[in-house]
Structure 1
Amino acid sequence: MRKLLWGFSLLVIIVVLGGCSSSSKASDSPEAKDVGYQIVEHGGLSDRRAVLDKDNVKKIEDIIADIKWDKTVSVDKGSKEDAVFWFIDQDNKEGKKYKVWFNETGSADVQDEKQVWGVLEGKNGETLSSIFKLNEQK
């Protein structure tokens, strides 16, 4: 009887811990339906546009997840950002905004709305830039 009670208690603990971890992860970063963005045109930001292709939305989510954010860095950009983008969830609510400066080397500097900086190295910066450029051609 004691072993049965011990086994049942262990099972309840595992189920409770598993449920807590998956629900907090889902609420922290809901899956984006679309990505809204504006690019710099003629010195100002363009009209609002959207990336609707699910593969490209997933690529942007993955790129942002891979950024190494540095709260200690304070960068004073002398130029206006090249693009501003945000995720749009299933309820059409906009998430936090990101500003992006694309560099000639293919990398990109990213700033979130809390003024925290991150860098996209090589391929990720190029991919983000190409998604916005390809979307403009449609």
Structure 2
Amino acid sequence: MGGGPGTTPSAYGELKVSQAELAKIGEHASGLFDRLSDKARVSIPSSRKAAGDLTQQGFALGSGLQHVAKRWEEQLNSLRDACAHISNHMRVTKKLHQDDEDYIRRQLSRIDVLDAGFDERGGKPGEKNPVYLPPPSEKKDD
């Protein structure tokens, strides 16, 4: 299905999302970010301390635990960054897309106005436009 002159997107389908829906996604992402910061980070200092103690006592397990703690923190930071990105993105998405929609609608409106100018006729279809015919006094008699 395609649109034509004067056809709005809603006439043939439109991707819609409300500000409330975007805000809810952003709130969930922000909440997950906070919970990851508060609860998932608590194991890192104790894991590092345990790894240091085990290494100091001569256990090979110490370096393994240190590696796990380091990777946990890296992955946790990556997940927190993703949550922050989603949260921030949802705050601005609706505004940006609305601005795009408005711009596209203005551009299409200009095309419709131009197109309508070509549709103006001075006479019936197929007949010459009387504006371009010579005045009646200038017609020659045969």
- Greater helix content: 2
Larger radius of gyration: 2
Q: What TM-score, normalized to structure 1? A: 0.28
- Choose between structure 1 and 2 for higher RCO, CA contacts under 8 A separated by at least 6 residues: 2
More strand by percentage: 1
TM-score, length of structure 2 as denominator length: 0.27
